[in-house]
Amino acid sequence: MAAVVLMTFSAGILFALGLLHLVYTFRGPKLTPRDPALRIRMSEVSPVISRETTMWRAWVGFNASHGMGAILFGLIYGFLAIVHRQLLFQSPFLLVVGLAMVGGFFALSKVYWFSIPFTGISISLACYVASIVMSRV
């Protein structure tokens, strides 16, 4: 039971961070540049890969898809932990994929982000690893 609670908590943290990130992408100024001129310039310049978008539109899209990925992880791993715990905890594939995802978020948050997501993801990773350990005891 402890493994299920820890995995659900790990998934819930990523779900909450993803949902908050998705909301911040489309509502309010949290993910906009502090310099208004930068946002204007981002709306005018295309990335090298394509002239069909702007850096601003790409920024919004990357932030939205990033939040959606965290939400999806939280929903799937939370669901599996609660409804299909045997499938989850007996599947090396699912456990490694989940660990790679949370570990990837951990590395990105350490290198590129700031303290709040890093702290949340660190707790999520610790719960994830602890859930695997507890499922083996």
The Cα–Cα gap between 5 and 130 comes to: 10
Q: Report pLDDT digits (tens) over 39-63.
A: 999 999 999 999 999 999 999 999 9
Number of domains in the chain: 1
Question: Distance between CA atoms of 125 and 7, rounded to whole angstroms?
Answer: 9
What tokens does 117 get? 């997501």
Q: How confident is the model at residue 124 (pLDDT cuts 50, 70, 90)?
A: very high
- The type of residue at 104 is G
Residues whose CB falls within 8 Å of the CB of residue 70, separated by 6 or more in sequence, listed in order: 14, 15, 17, 18, 19, 21, 105
Q: Which amino acid, one-letter code, is at 79?
A: F
Q: Are 8 and 81 in contact (CB under 8 A)?
A: yes
64 alpha carbon, distance to own chain's centre: 11
Please state whether the predicted TM-score (pTM) of the whole model is above 0.75: yes
Say how far apart CA 71 and CA 97 lie, in whole Å. 16
* Domain of 78, in residue numbers: 2-136
pLDDT, mean over the chain = 97
